[in-house]
Homo-oligomer: A and B are copies of this chain.
Amino acid sequence: MVAAGRASKELGSRITSRLNLEPVEAGLKTFPDGEVYCRYGESIRGADLFIVQSICGSEREGLTANDALMELLLMVHAAKHSSAHRIIAVCPWYGYSRQDKKSAPREPISARLVAELLEVAGIDRLVTMDLHAGQVQGFFSKTVDHMTAMPILSQYVQDHLAGEELVIIAPDAGRVKLVRNFARKLGAPYALMEKERPAHQVAQTGYVIGDVQGKIAVILDD
């Protein structure tokens, strides 16, 4: 069975219509004090329940990213105590995934906290995509299916820019590895952008490491 949170309503209905399934109505609403509520509209006892919800805000629904996260946690918790057999969270966008290590002392590793919240709420498995760092998978005790849209994106570039002389650009040093793999798929070279502030009070200047002259630049970021 498939249920969708309000931050992924459209994706949820695309999935269910593709599968020729009726989505499970989750009875979601927000009380005037901002608390979220859910109640499944039919029995999910014994079911493998897929809960589709990206952990991000939705302007249309008036949800912040944290509202979406808490809604997901409540749906998981309610499903567990309604005797679902297995609960699979499907989160194409994994919120807080960029805060996946300590860049400075005394800050949180938020992506780890989110993993702990999902597990304590009761997920049996997570399906997610193109995590900022593959190591986030190691934040979980439960199984994670880590999928990637890279083949679709590189195919798109190949289809639309065939025959051109390309160079793939990494917008910063942290993306170089990803960019290299992308470039290899296309048989193209790559380069990276760097910013520098030669001295205090002097304007920051950008430059490129690698050879880009005369090529079509494809910039890859997340």
Contacts and interface: CB of A to CB of B under 8 A. Distances in A.
Contacts of A144: 81
A139 to B, nearest CB: 5
A80 B74 CA distance: 25
B107 A37 contact: yes
A74 B110 contact: yes
Interface string A130-148: 0001111111000110100
Scoring A81, A99, A144 by chain B CB atoms within 10 A of each residue's CB, the highest score goes to A81
A195 to B, nearest CB: 10
Interface in A94-129: 95-96, 99-113, 116-117, 119-121, 125
A66 interface: yes
Contact of A173 (B121, B176, B189): B176
Interface size, A (range) = 35 or more
Contact of A35 (B99, B100, B191): B99
Interface in A50-99: 56-57, 64-67, 69-70, 73-75, 77-78, 80-83, 95-96, 99
A137 to B, nearest CB: 6
A82 B142 CA distance: 10
A192 interface: yes
B56 A101 contact: no
Given A77-B113, A120-B117, A210-B210, A36 B66 contact: yes
